[in-house]
Structure 1
Amino acid sequence: MLIVTHTTGYRHDSIEQAAIAIAQLARDASMTVENTADPTRFDQPLDTVHTIVLVSTTTRRNQPETEWLTGSRRKTFQNFMRRGGGVVAIHGAADSHYAWDWYGRMIGARFARHPKGTPTGTVRRATVAHPSLACLPGQFFHTDEWYWFADVDPALRPLLTFSPASIGETGAEDHPVSWAHDFEGGRVFYTSLGHTPEAWHNSLILAHVRGGLLWASGRRP
């Protein structure tokens, strides 16, 4: 498993905690872990990598020159997916590579905006069977930065949603928080949770990400 923490946009304070926590989840599942903050890793073969974790790997929306999956790196990533690779995308990974249409379709949506701060909101799980939901209650409260999305793939079926009304945003339906989908031969799990360092010590969030990691990696819980 390759954990990627490179950013050229907003740098989340939670990245280091997230990388540590996800690496431990992977090792607990007997996975070998490689960490990188160097985009030139994608200039090298990914033949031994089975799962890539993008930990809030932001770029700048209106500055395509900040994008680092460019040129042959794009082909490397696409080939990884098309040979059945798995991707786990965390929070700000949806706020990235706006000039690359394929990337947005791979994630399943793009970050549009978020309300100010990190309020406590109500999260609801879907009534579907998925490893990322196995240990979660039907509804719970969580403190995070809540994303609104654009360019959402209409075929996506959210795993978790949250109530905008629960954070004072009225007149809106529940918004997607997390989803998983097959994409060009590979698997992609995305969750917008994980903005705060504290989230990576929360047993519910860790269980959610663990299930998504196992699913994307093609492993049984």
Structure 2
Amino acid sequence: MPHHPPRVVLYSRTTAYRHDSIPAGVEAVGRLVAEDGFESVATEDPAALEREIPRCAVVVFLSTSGEVLTPAARDALRRHLAGGGGFVGIHAAACTEYDWPYYGELLGARFARHPDLQPGTVAVTDHAHPATRHLDARWDFTDEWYDFRAVPAGVRVLARAHESSYTGGGMGADHPLVWCHERMGGPVFYTALGHTAESFADPVFLAHLRGGIRYAAGRE
């Protein structure tokens, strides 16, 4: 049997708000997974996603929004996680599939609101993860600083927002931005960062994504 490199499927369908940064994100993530020896395919078609999921190691939702999955694609995603497959959510992946309780559990938290785009500081609290081990304890970044409906439960929080570093934060001292877990079967990684196209040209942010994808692929 020929050996095929592991595959990543990158999904960026939107039925609500559409981020202008999606093309830059698709291009950048495709490039970094190729550098890591993965094959990748990018799609916004739920039927294509349904076909790709069983063939891939990691499913990445890049700033998806609204209801983006057919019932068959939902089933494929659930089977993927149950079988140990990985999942990565980037930014507006938390604004997705509000009608599907399983997805809320999978991601860990649902988006509530955000203040204006502005600079702020990420507090990196766990450096023992591939997505954060290259970061300092304080990481200055420009983003939308998502608030969530609730603090994610049963997850390993890797980084939080320093709400004192920007205006309009609504969660207080315990404001997770980046986390991971394995409670659905396969490894799940989520980062709330990635609003701007510029972030996908930032080597520090790309190393953060690379580590999250490697974790989700079982490479770490």
TM superposition score normalised by structure 1: 0.91
Amino acid at match of 1:17: A
d(CA) in 1 for partners of 2:57 and 2:169? 42
Contact 2:151 2:174 in 1 (8 A): no
Q: Which of 49, 64, 67 lines up with 2:56 in the alignment?
A: 49
SS in 2 for 1:183: coil
Contact 1:14 1:196 in 2 (8 A): yes
Q: Deviations over 1:176-197 (max 9, x none)?
A: 1100110321111000100000
Q: Deviations over 1:155-175 (max 9, x none)?
A: 223211111121124792141
What residue in structure 2 maps to residue 74 of structure 1? 74
d(CA) in 1 for partners of 2:113 and 2:101? 19
Return closer, same or farther for 1:114/1:52 CA change in 2, 3 Å cut-off: same
Return closer, same or farther for 1:167/1:4 CA change in 2, 3 Å cut-off: same
RMSD: 1.6
Contact 2:92 2:192 in 1 (8 A): yes
What residue in structure 2 maps to residue 179 of structure 1? 179
Contact 1:81 1:183 in 2 (8 A): no
Alignment of 1:14-33 (within 5 A): 14-33=21-40
- In the alignment, structure 1 residue 86 sits paired with structure 2 residue 86: yes
Q: Deviations over 1:85-123 (max 9, x none)?
A: 1111000000011110000100010001101x2110011
Gap regions ≥5 residues in structure 2: 1-7
Return closer, same or farther for 1:127/1:153 CA change in 2, 3 Å cut-off: closer
d(CA) in 2 for partners of 1:52 and 1:69? 13
Could you list the structure 1 runs, at least 4 aligned residues long, displaced by more than 3 angstroms after superposition: none
Instruction: Pick which of 156-165 and 21-30 moved more.
Output: 156-165
What residue in structure 2 maps to residue 148 of structure 1? 147
What residue in structure 1 maps to residue 4 of structure 2? none
User: Paired residues, what number?
Assistant: 212
Return closer, same or farther for 1:79/1:127 CA change in 2, 3 Å cut-off: closer
Return closer, same or farther for 1:42/1:140 CA change in 2, 3 Å cut-off: closer
- Structure 1 residue 68: deviation in Å? 3.1
Return closer, same or farther for 1:48/1:163 CA change in 2, 3 Å cut-off: same
d(CA) in 2 for partners of 1:71 and 1:177? 29
- Structure 1 residue 45: deviation in Å? 5.7
SS in 1 for 2:177: strand
TM superposition score normalised by structure 2: 0.91
Gap regions ≥5 residues in structure 1: 60-66
Return closer, same or farther for 1:43/1:139 CA change in 2, 3 Å cut-off: closer
d(CA) in 2 for partners of 1:195 and 1:181? 23
What residue in structure 2 maps to residue 2 of structure 1? 9
What residue in structure 2 maps to residue 211 of structure 1? 211
What residue in structure 1 maps to residue 123 of structure 2? 124
What residue in structure 2 maps to residue 189 of structure 1? 189
SS in 2 for 1:46: helix
Amino acid at match of 2:167: G
- Structure 1 residue 73: deviation in Å? 2.0
d(CA) in 2 for partners of 1:165 and 1:151? 19
Q: What is the aligned-residue identity percentage?
A: 39
d(CA) in 1 for partners of 2:68 and 2:160? 30
